[in-house]
Amino acid sequence: MVFSVTILGSSAALPTSQRFSTSQLLQAGERSYLIDCAEGTQIQFRRFHLPFGNLKAIFISHLHGDHVFGLPGLLSSLNLLDRKEPLDIFGPAPLEEWINGHLKFFAPLSYPLHIHCATCTDMTAIYEDKRITVGCFPLQHRIPTWGYLFREKERPANIRKDMIRLYGIPLREIPAIKAGADYRMPDGKIIPNHLLAFPPVQPRSYAYCSDTVYLERLPAMLRNVHLLYHEATFANDQKLRSAETFHSTAEEAATIAKAANAGKLIIGHFSTRYDNLRPLLQEAQAIFKNTEAAEDGKTFEVKQPSRPTSDHPA
Protein backbone atom coordinates (compact mmCIF):
# COMPACT_ATOMS: atom_id res chain seq x y z
CA MET A 1 0.00 0.00 0.00
CA VAL A 2 1.39 3.37 -0.96
CA PHE A 3 2.21 5.92 1.73
CA SER A 4 3.55 9.06 0.12
CA VAL A 5 3.61 12.85 0.16
CA THR A 6 3.37 14.89 -3.04
CA ILE A 7 4.50 18.51 -2.87
CA LEU A 8 1.94 20.82 -4.49
CA GLY A 9 3.67 24.04 -3.45
CA SER A 10 7.07 24.76 -1.91
CA SER A 11 7.37 28.56 -1.90
CA ALA A 12 6.92 30.81 1.11
CA ALA A 13 4.43 33.71 1.09
CA LEU A 14 5.00 34.78 -2.53
CA PRO A 15 4.42 32.14 -5.19
CA THR A 16 6.67 32.11 -8.25
CA SER A 17 6.10 30.63 -11.69
CA GLN A 18 8.07 27.55 -10.55
CA ARG A 19 6.89 27.23 -6.97
CA PHE A 20 3.36 27.67 -5.73
CA SER A 21 2.85 28.44 -2.03
CA THR A 22 2.44 25.65 0.50
CA SER A 23 0.23 22.65 -0.06
CA GLN A 24 0.88 18.90 0.05
CA LEU A 25 -1.06 15.73 -0.69
CA LEU A 26 -0.62 12.70 1.55
CA GLN A 27 -1.67 9.41 -0.02
CA ALA A 28 -2.32 6.36 2.14
CA GLY A 29 -3.48 3.52 -0.03
CA GLU A 30 -6.46 4.62 -2.10
CA ARG A 31 -7.16 7.62 0.14
CA SER A 32 -5.68 11.09 0.01
CA TYR A 33 -5.45 13.94 2.49
CA LEU A 34 -4.62 17.55 1.75
CA ILE A 35 -2.24 19.46 4.01
CA ASP A 36 -2.61 23.23 3.65
CA CYS A 37 -4.15 24.68 0.52
CA ALA A 38 -2.39 27.66 -1.04
CA GLU A 39 -3.71 29.49 -4.09
CA GLY A 40 -3.55 27.22 -7.13
CA THR A 41 -3.81 23.92 -5.22
CA GLN A 42 -6.64 22.71 -7.48
CA ILE A 43 -4.52 23.63 -10.51
CA GLN A 44 -1.66 21.50 -9.14
CA PHE A 45 -4.09 18.56 -8.79
CA ARG A 46 -4.75 18.89 -12.53
CA ARG A 47 -1.12 19.47 -13.42
CA PHE A 48 0.16 16.44 -11.54
CA HIS A 49 -2.83 14.23 -12.50
CA LEU A 50 -4.02 13.73 -8.92
CA PRO A 51 -7.65 12.67 -8.51
CA PHE A 52 -10.07 14.87 -6.53
CA GLY A 53 -12.39 11.97 -5.75
CA ASN A 54 -10.15 10.28 -3.15
CA LEU A 55 -9.81 13.34 -0.94
CA LYS A 56 -10.94 12.44 2.58
CA ALA A 57 -9.94 15.44 4.69
CA ILE A 58 -8.01 18.72 4.70
CA PHE A 59 -5.57 19.73 7.43
CA ILE A 60 -4.75 23.44 7.67
CA SER A 61 -1.74 24.62 9.66
CA HIS A 62 -2.71 28.28 10.10
CA LEU A 63 -4.73 31.11 8.64
CA HIS A 64 -2.08 32.85 6.55
CA GLY A 65 -2.97 33.42 2.91
CA ASP A 66 -0.11 31.34 1.54
CA HIS A 67 -1.58 28.29 3.31
CA VAL A 68 -5.33 28.75 2.69
CA PHE A 69 -6.11 30.93 -0.35
CA GLY A 70 -6.69 27.85 -2.51
CA LEU A 71 -9.57 26.67 -0.32
CA PRO A 72 -12.35 28.77 -1.91
CA GLY A 73 -11.46 27.47 -5.38
CA LEU A 74 -11.00 23.86 -4.31
CA LEU A 75 -14.26 23.74 -2.32
CA SER A 76 -16.07 25.34 -5.26
CA SER A 77 -14.61 22.94 -7.82
CA LEU A 78 -15.53 19.91 -5.69
CA ASN A 79 -19.05 21.34 -5.79
CA LEU A 80 -18.93 21.70 -9.59
CA LEU A 81 -17.69 18.11 -9.77
CA ASP A 82 -20.82 17.21 -7.76
CA ARG A 83 -19.07 15.68 -4.76
CA LYS A 84 -21.55 14.10 -2.36
CA GLU A 85 -19.25 12.62 0.29
CA PRO A 86 -18.78 14.78 3.41
CA LEU A 87 -15.48 16.63 3.69
CA ASP A 88 -13.72 17.38 6.98
CA ILE A 89 -11.42 20.36 7.41
CA PHE A 90 -9.23 20.81 10.47
CA GLY A 91 -7.29 23.86 11.60
CA PRO A 92 -6.95 26.56 14.21
CA ALA A 93 -9.74 29.09 14.72
CA PRO A 94 -10.79 31.36 13.08
CA LEU A 95 -10.66 29.01 10.08
CA GLU A 96 -14.35 28.10 10.45
CA GLU A 97 -15.47 31.72 10.69
CA TRP A 98 -13.40 32.69 7.62
CA ILE A 99 -14.69 29.80 5.47
CA ASN A 100 -18.32 30.28 6.49
CA GLY A 101 -18.10 34.05 5.99
CA HIS A 102 -16.80 33.39 2.51
CA LEU A 103 -19.20 30.60 1.54
CA LYS A 104 -22.35 32.62 2.14
CA PHE A 105 -21.55 34.69 -0.97
CA PHE A 106 -21.40 31.65 -3.23
CA ALA A 107 -23.65 28.78 -4.29
CA PRO A 108 -24.36 26.16 -1.61
CA LEU A 109 -22.04 23.16 -1.76
CA SER A 110 -23.21 19.80 -3.08
CA TYR A 111 -21.59 18.02 -0.10
CA PRO A 112 -21.55 18.46 3.70
CA LEU A 113 -18.53 20.41 4.88
CA HIS A 114 -17.47 19.85 8.49
CA ILE A 115 -14.98 22.36 9.85
CA HIS A 116 -13.21 21.42 13.07
CA CYS A 117 -11.30 24.04 15.06
CA ALA A 118 -10.50 22.37 18.37
CA THR A 119 -7.83 23.76 20.65
CA CYS A 120 -4.41 22.17 20.48
CA THR A 121 -1.99 22.70 23.33
CA ASP A 122 -0.25 19.34 23.13
CA MET A 123 -0.29 16.34 20.76
CA THR A 124 -4.03 15.77 20.27
CA ALA A 125 -5.75 13.02 18.27
CA ILE A 126 -8.16 14.74 15.88
CA TYR A 127 -8.89 12.34 13.03
CA GLU A 128 -9.09 8.62 12.38
CA ASP A 129 -10.32 6.44 9.54
CA LYS A 130 -9.55 2.90 8.46
CA ARG A 131 -6.17 3.87 7.01
CA ILE A 132 -4.65 6.54 9.26
CA THR A 133 -4.77 8.44 12.52
CA VAL A 134 -3.87 12.11 12.70
CA GLY A 135 -2.64 14.11 15.65
CA CYS A 136 -2.16 17.85 15.76
CA PHE A 137 0.41 19.65 17.89
CA PRO A 138 1.11 23.34 18.47
CA LEU A 139 3.86 25.08 16.51
CA GLN A 140 5.00 28.63 17.25
CA HIS A 141 4.39 31.25 14.58
CA ARG A 142 2.92 34.77 14.47
CA ILE A 143 -0.60 33.36 14.79
CA PRO A 144 -1.91 30.03 16.18
CA THR A 145 -0.37 27.29 14.05
CA TRP A 146 -0.61 23.50 14.16
CA GLY A 147 1.68 20.78 12.98
CA TYR A 148 0.29 17.35 12.08
CA LEU A 149 1.47 13.80 12.65
CA PHE A 150 0.01 11.23 10.26
CA ARG A 151 0.34 7.59 11.18
CA GLU A 152 -0.79 4.51 9.29
CA LYS A 153 -2.99 2.17 11.24
CA GLU A 154 -1.44 -1.10 12.25
CA ARG A 155 -2.79 -3.91 10.11
CA PRO A 156 -3.03 -7.55 11.24
CA ALA A 157 -0.73 -10.23 9.90
CA ASN A 158 -1.48 -11.42 6.37
CA ILE A 159 -2.34 -15.09 6.12
CA ARG A 160 -0.16 -17.17 3.76
CA LYS A 161 -2.89 -18.89 1.75
CA ASP A 162 -0.46 -21.35 0.20
CA MET A 163 0.58 -22.66 3.62
CA ILE A 164 -2.99 -22.78 4.92
CA ARG A 165 -3.84 -25.01 1.95
CA LEU A 166 -0.69 -27.09 2.34
CA TYR A 167 -1.46 -27.97 5.96
CA GLY A 168 -5.25 -28.22 5.36
CA ILE A 169 -5.99 -25.74 8.14
CA PRO A 170 -9.75 -25.11 8.66
CA LEU A 171 -11.11 -21.55 8.19
CA ARG A 172 -12.17 -21.23 11.84
CA GLU A 173 -8.49 -21.22 12.85
CA ILE A 174 -7.61 -18.19 10.71
CA PRO A 175 -8.45 -15.43 13.25
CA ALA A 176 -6.19 -17.02 15.86
CA ILE A 177 -3.35 -17.37 13.33
CA LYS A 178 -3.81 -13.73 12.27
CA ALA A 179 -3.52 -12.81 15.95
CA GLY A 180 -0.18 -14.66 16.15
CA ALA A 181 -1.07 -18.20 17.31
CA ASP A 182 0.78 -21.32 16.17
CA TYR A 183 -1.29 -24.22 14.78
CA ARG A 184 -1.45 -27.73 16.22
CA MET A 185 -1.96 -30.40 13.53
CA PRO A 186 -4.32 -33.36 14.21
CA ASP A 187 -1.16 -35.50 14.73
CA GLY A 188 0.00 -33.01 17.43
CA LYS A 189 2.75 -31.43 15.32
CA ILE A 190 3.08 -27.67 15.91
CA ILE A 191 3.33 -25.35 12.88
CA PRO A 192 4.87 -22.10 14.07
CA ASN A 193 2.99 -18.90 13.24
CA HIS A 194 5.78 -17.39 11.11
CA LEU A 195 5.26 -20.17 8.55
CA LEU A 196 1.53 -19.43 8.32
CA ALA A 197 1.39 -15.64 8.17
CA PHE A 198 3.40 -12.68 6.97
CA PRO A 199 4.22 -10.39 9.87
CA PRO A 200 1.89 -7.45 10.60
CA VAL A 201 2.49 -4.38 8.47
CA GLN A 202 4.54 -1.81 10.29
CA PRO A 203 2.75 1.55 10.38
CA ARG A 204 4.54 4.38 8.59
CA SER A 205 4.41 7.99 9.71
CA TYR A 206 4.72 11.51 8.37
CA ALA A 207 5.08 14.74 10.34
CA TYR A 208 4.35 18.19 8.92
CA CYS A 209 5.86 21.27 10.62
CA SER A 210 5.11 24.60 8.94
CA ASP A 211 5.32 27.51 9.78
CA THR A 212 7.30 27.69 13.00
CA VAL A 213 10.32 28.92 14.89
CA TYR A 214 12.80 26.28 16.01
CA LEU A 215 11.05 24.35 18.78
CA GLU A 216 13.16 22.27 21.11
CA ARG A 217 10.15 20.24 22.22
CA LEU A 218 9.34 18.88 18.73
CA PRO A 219 11.78 15.93 18.51
CA ALA A 220 10.34 14.22 21.59
CA MET A 221 6.86 14.35 20.01
CA LEU A 222 8.04 13.13 16.62
CA ARG A 223 10.51 10.48 17.77
CA ASN A 224 11.46 8.03 14.97
CA VAL A 225 9.05 9.52 12.47
CA HIS A 226 9.68 7.99 9.02
CA LEU A 227 9.32 11.18 7.01
CA LEU A 228 9.53 14.71 8.42
CA TYR A 229 8.67 17.95 6.63
CA HIS A 230 10.05 20.99 8.42
CA GLU A 231 9.93 24.48 6.96
CA ALA A 232 13.27 26.13 6.14
CA THR A 233 12.24 29.55 4.90
CA PHE A 234 15.78 30.87 5.30
CA ALA A 235 19.41 29.81 5.45
CA ASN A 236 21.68 30.86 8.27
CA ASP A 237 22.62 34.07 6.41
CA GLN A 238 19.13 35.32 7.38
CA LYS A 239 19.04 33.99 10.93
CA LEU A 240 17.87 37.33 12.36
CA ARG A 241 15.15 37.77 9.73
CA SER A 242 14.11 34.17 10.35
CA ALA A 243 13.64 34.80 14.08
CA GLU A 244 11.86 38.13 13.49
CA THR A 245 9.31 36.51 11.20
CA PHE A 246 8.89 33.36 13.36
CA HIS A 247 10.38 31.05 10.77
CA SER A 248 13.21 28.49 10.78
CA THR A 249 16.52 28.09 9.00
CA ALA A 250 17.59 24.97 7.13
CA GLU A 251 20.06 24.23 9.94
CA GLU A 252 17.30 24.38 12.52
CA ALA A 253 15.08 22.06 10.47
CA ALA A 254 17.94 19.55 10.25
CA THR A 255 18.63 19.82 13.96
CA ILE A 256 15.01 18.83 14.65
CA ALA A 257 15.24 15.89 12.20
CA LYS A 258 18.45 14.63 13.80
CA ALA A 259 17.17 14.94 17.35
CA ALA A 260 13.91 13.19 16.37
CA ASN A 261 15.85 10.37 14.65
CA ALA A 262 13.70 10.90 11.56
CA GLY A 263 14.05 8.61 8.55
CA LYS A 264 14.18 11.45 6.06
CA LEU A 265 13.80 15.24 6.13
CA ILE A 266 12.09 17.38 3.49
CA ILE A 267 12.74 21.12 3.73
CA GLY A 268 10.48 23.68 2.04
CA HIS A 269 8.58 26.99 2.28
CA PHE A 270 11.55 28.70 0.68
CA SER A 271 11.85 32.48 0.64
CA THR A 272 11.86 33.84 -2.93
CA ARG A 273 15.30 35.32 -2.21
CA TYR A 274 16.78 31.84 -2.80
CA ASP A 275 16.91 31.20 -6.54
CA ASN A 276 19.37 28.44 -5.82
CA LEU A 277 18.55 26.07 -2.98
CA ARG A 278 22.02 24.52 -2.75
CA PRO A 279 23.07 26.63 0.28
CA LEU A 280 19.95 25.60 2.23
CA LEU A 281 20.38 21.95 1.30
CA GLN A 282 24.09 21.94 2.18
CA GLU A 283 23.39 23.65 5.48
CA ALA A 284 20.79 21.02 6.37
CA GLN A 285 22.74 18.02 5.07
CA ALA A 286 25.77 18.98 7.14
CA ILE A 287 23.64 18.13 10.18
CA PHE A 288 21.17 15.60 8.80
CA LYS A 289 22.40 13.84 5.68
CA ASN A 290 19.12 12.40 4.42
CA THR A 291 17.58 15.80 3.60
CA GLU A 292 15.83 16.68 0.35
CA ALA A 293 14.37 19.94 -0.90
CA ALA A 294 10.65 20.17 -1.64
CA GLU A 295 9.86 20.70 -5.30
CA ASP A 296 6.40 21.19 -6.81
CA GLY A 297 5.20 17.88 -8.22
CA LYS A 298 7.79 15.72 -6.43
CA THR A 299 6.52 12.66 -4.54
CA PHE A 300 8.28 11.30 -1.47
CA GLU A 301 7.26 7.72 -0.84
CA VAL A 302 7.82 5.94 2.46
CA LYS A 303 8.49 2.33 1.53
CA GLN A 304 6.98 -0.46 3.54
CA PRO A 305 9.80 -1.88 5.68
CA SER A 306 10.34 -5.55 4.77
CA ARG A 307 10.66 -6.73 8.40
CA PRO A 308 8.43 -6.10 11.38
CA THR A 309 11.15 -4.29 13.27
CA SER A 310 12.79 -1.27 11.71
CA ASP A 311 15.29 1.41 12.47
CA HIS A 312 12.41 3.85 12.62
CA PRO A 313 9.47 2.35 14.43
CA ALA A 314 7.41 5.53 14.82
Active-site positions read 66
246 forms part of the interface with a copy of itself (CB under 8 A) = no
Using the rule CB under 8 A, is 42 a contact of a copy of itself? yes
State the nearest-atom distance from the C-beta of 17 to a copy of itself, in Å. Answer: 4
Q: How far is the CB of 40 from a copy of itself (least distance, A)?
A: 5
- Phi, psi angle pair for 194, to nearest 5°: -65, -15
Give Cα separations from 22 to 19, 31, 70, 262, 310 (angstroms).
9, 20, 10, 22, 31
Altogether, the residues listed in the chain come to a count of 314
| DSSP, res 242 | H
Taking CB under 8 A as the rule, does residue 240 contact a copy of itself?
A: no
Q: Per DSSP, which regions of the chain are E strands?
A: 3-9, 23-28, 31-37, 55-59, 87-90, 113-116, 124-128, 132-138, 146-152, 158-159, 183-184, 190-191, 197-198, 205-209, 227-231, 264-268, 291-293, 299-301
The answer to the question of residue 297 lying near a copy of itself (CB under 8 A) is no
Q: Which amino acid is at 30?
A: E
Bridge partners, 201 (sequence order) = 155
Tell me: does residue 273 bind a copy of itself (CB under 8 A): no
Quick note: the x/- pattern for a copy of itself over 66-95, rule CB under 8 A, is x--xx-xx--xx--xx------------x-
Exactly one of 1, 2, 30, 47 binds a copy of itself (CB under 8 A); that residue is: 47
Residue 42 vs 291, nearer CB to a copy of itself: 42
Residue 14 CB, shortest distance to a copy of itself, in Å, is 6
Residue 155 binds a copy of itself (CB under 8 A): no
Long-range CB contacts (within 8 A, 24+) of 175-184: none
Q: Between residues 64 and 312, which has the closer beta carbon with respect to a copy of itself?
A: 64
Decide: is 190 part of the binding site for a copy of itself (CB under 8 A). no
DSSP 244: H
CB 289 within 8 A of CB 265: no
144 near a copy of itself, rule: CB under 8 A: no
Of 65 and 175, CB closest to a copy of itself: 65
Q: Does 263 bind a copy of itself (CB under 8 A)?
A: no
Residue with smaller CB distance to a copy of itself, 65 or 313? 65
Q: Tell me: does residue 211 bind a copy of itself (CB under 8 A).
A: no
* Per CB under 8 A, 14 contacts a copy of itself: yes
Helices 71-80, 95-103: inter-axial angle, 10-degree rounding: 50
DSSP state of 155: B
Residue span 93-132 as binding mask against a copy of itself, x where in contact by CB under 8 A, dash where not = -x--xx--xx--xx--------------------------
Nearer to a copy of itself by Cβ, of 25 and 207: the residue is: 25
**Distance, CA of 29 to CA of 35 (rounded, Å):** 16
| Type and span of the H or E element at 101 | helix 95-103
**168 contacts a copy of itself (rule: CB under 8 A):** no
| Beta-bridge mates of residue 43 | none
Residues forming contacts to a copy of itself in the complex (CB under 8 A) are 13-17, 20, 39-40, 42-43, 46-47, 63-66, 69-70, 72-73, 76-77, 80-81, 94, 97-98, 101-102, 105-106
